[in-house]
Amino acid sequence: MEKILIIDDDSDIRQQLKWGLSDEYAVLLAGDVNEGIGVFKKHHPTVVILDLGLPPHEHASDEGFRGLAAMLDLNPHVKIIMLTGNSERENALKAMQMGAYDFYPKPPLLNELKVIICRAIHLAGIEEQNRSLQRAIEMKSISTGGMIGQCPEMQTIFSTIKKVAPSNVSIIITGENGTGKELVAQALHDASLRNKGPFIPINCGAIPENLLESELFGHEKGAFTGAHATVQGKLQYANKGTLFLDEIGELPVNLQVKLLRFLQEGVIQRVGGRVDIPVDTRTVCATNVDIVKAIKEGRFREDLYYRISVISINLPPLRERGDDILLLANYFLRMFNDEHKKRIRRFSAASVSFLKSYEWPGNVRELRNRVQRAIIMSDAAAIEPVDLGCEVELPEKSETIKPIISLRDARDKVERELIACVIERQNGNIAKAAEELGVSRPTLYDLLKKHGLTPLTSVEKAPDLVP
């Protein structure tokens, strides 16, 4: 039985709610914030009904805000419903920004409050299932270098990594910038028999051409002006380990010849040296350029390409990975929440829509950076599109002032859309719809009659109802 904690200094309201909810829930009571926090720590309720005005400041909202913040610190996933007076709309909205699930005016009407509680518990269950799935996927990802993905393309890549990692064959990783090519290379190293040795990455496109040869192969003392000592190159540092050559397509042609000789014979010569030095390393390469086109244009040696591409792994762009976008976004949300000591709980429905529709030209790297920026800059409970750097076009100002919808009308609208959405999803099956909504069939029939709905009513799912 789900636990509900009611924190209110009005004993009549506490007893009324306990009497009305005890048949369906385990109801806990508290008369002030300190008592409520103690009960919260001991019993870990799923839902809290919290009065904004509590002693010793019954006519202010300080204690309500303090209790809200304290309980969200203890459990960011708890659903807190604020009880407010008619004149406290501004404070109620502030509570929502702090992370409250909903607010409801006093005195509470039991049947309406039950619908809100039922929806809160249903959503809490869905969120817990999603977190469990996320944890399972993340635990599974440990064996694939910390990469996360459940789309078929990524699962195929994970399988390929496990198959080829123990061998010494050369591998080329292709894909757009930001897709995670170095993570794949690291995963190949970690799962190989060379994982006790070093993993040495080098970006062939980031080092000036006149320095790249020395960086790769090392140089002898006096080989050129400024060479005051003999220096080992990255290839030699990678002995008994893995050398990751990122942006291999940017490697100058003269160095391609020297790299090919190393791959064929397993020896190098330092710049200015004549002694062959044996090096035992595995080479993993990566590129975001069209190597076949580069070969045709004479910018890349065909024989080197065949030598480095015994196995080819192509990483899909993020825009083609479907639900992985939200999977990764929520992973980064938790990671940066912990790193920056924040307690942002979720992405808003508008943010979810943006995440799924945006093209992500910078791929996973861009998603990671946008979520980190949002975590740092936002103080609300949910991340909005503007926090992610999405420019939201505001409607032009109108001279006509539209009336603000009342709280009860807004709640009726949400209730109607939720019921219609579930009825549509269950294809008009009242029994299944009632079970999903957490109400009895007679109650659902009453709600259908109240809102003028039929079992076959179909309405478009409201964006703000998407978990």
Same fold, 3-133 and 168-314: yes
Domain topology for 168-314: Rossmann fold (3.40.50)
Three-state secondary-structure class, residue 49? strand
What pairs with residue 199 in β-bridges?
242
Q: Please report the pLDDT score of residue 136 as a whole number.
A: 67
Q: Please, what sign has the CA dihedral across residues 224, 228, 232, 233?
A: negative
What values do phi and psi take at 32, rounded to 5? -150, 175
Q: Please report the pLDDT score of residue 79 as a whole number.
A: 94
**Has domain 319-388 been given CATH number 1.10.10.10?**
no
* Rounded Cα distance, 208 and 439, in Å: 69
Q: Please report the pLDDT score of residue 464 as a whole number.
A: 38
Q: Please report the pLDDT score of residue 140 as a whole number.
A: 57
Q: So where are the chain's domains?
A: 3-133, 168-314, 319-388, 407-465
Is the pTM higher than 0.75? The answer reads no
* Rounded Cα distance, 458 and 463, in Å: 15
* DSSP for residue 231: E
HSE-up (13 A, CA, CB side) for residue 235: 26
Q: Please report the pLDDT score of residue 466 as a whole number.
A: 34
Q: Please report the pLDDT score of residue 137 as a whole number.
A: 63
Class for domain 407-465, per CATH? mainly alpha
CATH superfamily of 3-133: Response regulator (3.40.50.2300)
pLDDT under 50 in the chain at which residues?
142-143, 392-403, 457-467
